[in-house]
Chains A and B, each alone.
Chain A
Amino acid sequence: MNRIVSTSLIGTAAVVALVAASCAPAFADGTSTPAPSTGKTLAAIQARAKTDTTARISALNTAIAKVTAAKDISASDRSTILGTLNGDVSGMNTVEAKIAADTTAATAAADFATIFTGYRVFAVAIPQARLASAADRLTSTTVPKLTDAQTKLAAALAGPDKAKSTPALLADLADMSSQVSAASTALNGVSAKALAVTPADYNSNHAVMTPIRTSVETAITDLKKASADGKTVLAAIK
């Protein structure tokens, strides 16, 4: 009986260990995509490389179009972003051609891995482009526009619309100013930080983009509050 029990326990433990071992890489990479190079034929690796590079080139071209069309991205950041995105398009074409020309599965597998580790198109290049764009939009347009609106509203409440001024409206104005200030603090240096992230940074720390995204999201939340404050005050003096 004890032997049966212990045998069952050992067997169960072995199954659990096997399941855990097979799942571990998927969780670590944040993906459940199996590695195509493991035990795959050269043709299979080449086919997968074609699919994966094509998907990345398509996403890169979409991002390039958006960055090119965006009006409130700084010229410097636009140049940096487009340099990275266009460089990655070129890189994808190069690595895909190399894999297509590979003659062994081992070489193709090694080249295949560089599609991910060498570029991190989805994990780094595109997110950093979009987050830097967001930070630029907020810094160059939202913050100054809300600052202008706050200044004009304060002047109106202190002058021609003084009769409509109330402690609540003045508190809204003060909060508007505070929210814009907080957003400016959150955005300080964010685009530069986003654009400084490299695939190597991501390879060693998969959460490297998280604080950058958090800063942008925090700024958006602050600026939405500031806008709501401004809207309240404006409605009161109309």
Chain B
Amino acid sequence: MTTRDAARIAVALVAVAIVGASLTGCSRAALAGQQAPAAATSVTPTSTPAPAAASGDDSSLQGIQGDLDSANSATANAGGDVADADRSAATSDSP
């Protein structure tokens, strides 16, 4: 084996190593790419209950506030209706 042959073998081994490393990286990346969506779809439901408990309280309070706001809005409109009735009734309706 000449020095040149040894160099060729060394270069070939390095090349194989590089390709192998690349393939390993690709497979990891591919695996990561596959797992990412899976994690997103599976983790989200399992992690939802925890925030839901916290935001559930908030949304419950917001729901009560919404009820009160809706009630107040309708009451205000009813007050406007009564004012309209009063204005009309105060207008002369006799010859």
**Which A residues form the contact surface with B (CB < 8 A)?**
29-33, 35-37, 59, 63, 66, 70, 72, 112-113, 115-116, 120-123, 126-128, 130-131, 133-135, 137-138, 140-142, 145-146, 148-149, 152-153, 156, 160, 209, 213, 216-217, 220, 223-224, 226-227, 230-231, 234, 237-238
In the complex, A113→B94 CA distance in Å?
8
Q: Does B2 contact A (CB under 8 A)?
A: no
* Apart from the given pairs A113-B95, A115-B95, A134-B79, 18 other A-B contacts in the complex at a CB distance below 8 Å: A31-B92, A31-B93, A31-B94, A32-B92, A120-B93, A126-B84, A126-B88, A127-B86, A131-B81, A131-B85, A134-B81, A137-B75, A152-B63, A156-B60, A213-B82, A216-B81, A226-B71, A238-B61
Cβ–Cβ < 8 Å partners of A59 in chain B = 88, 91
The distance in angstroms between the C-alpha atoms of A135 and B63, with both chains bound, is 24
The 5 closest A-B pairs by CB, nearest first: A29-B94, A134-B81, A141-B74, A31-B92, A134-B78
Assess whether B61 is in contact with A234, with CB atoms less than 8 Å apart: yes
Distance (Å) between the CB of A173 and the closest chain B CB? 12
Is B82 touching A142 in the complex (CB atoms < 8 A)? no
Q: A126 near B75 (CB under 8 angstroms)?
A: no
A179 shortest CB reach to chain B, Å: 11
- CB B95 to nearest CB in A, in angstroms, measures 5
Q: Is B85 within 8 A of A217, CB to CB?
A: no
**A and B contact pairs by CB, cutoff 8 A, 21 listed:** A29-B94, A33-B94, A33-B95, A63-B84, A120-B93, A123-B88, A123-B89, A130-B81, A134-B78, A137-B81, A138-B75, A141-B70, A142-B75, A142-B78, A145-B68, A149-B67, A152-B67, A213-B85, A216-B81, A216-B82, A227-B72
Residues of chain B lying within 8 A (CB to CB) of residue A160: 57
Which B residues touch A152, using CB under 8 A? 60, 63-64, 67
A181–B3 alpha-carbon span in the complex (Å): 104
Give the size range of B's interface with the partner.
20 to 34
Residues in B52-66 with C-beta less than 8 Å from chain A: 57, 60-61, 63-65
Task: State which of A33, A134, A223 has its C-beta within 8 Å of the C-beta of B92.
Answer: A33
- Closest B residue to A145 by beta carbon equals B71
| B77 adjacent to chain A (CB < 8 Å) | yes
Residues of B within 8 A of A145 (CB): 67-68, 70-71, 74
Complex Cα distance A63/B80, Å? 12
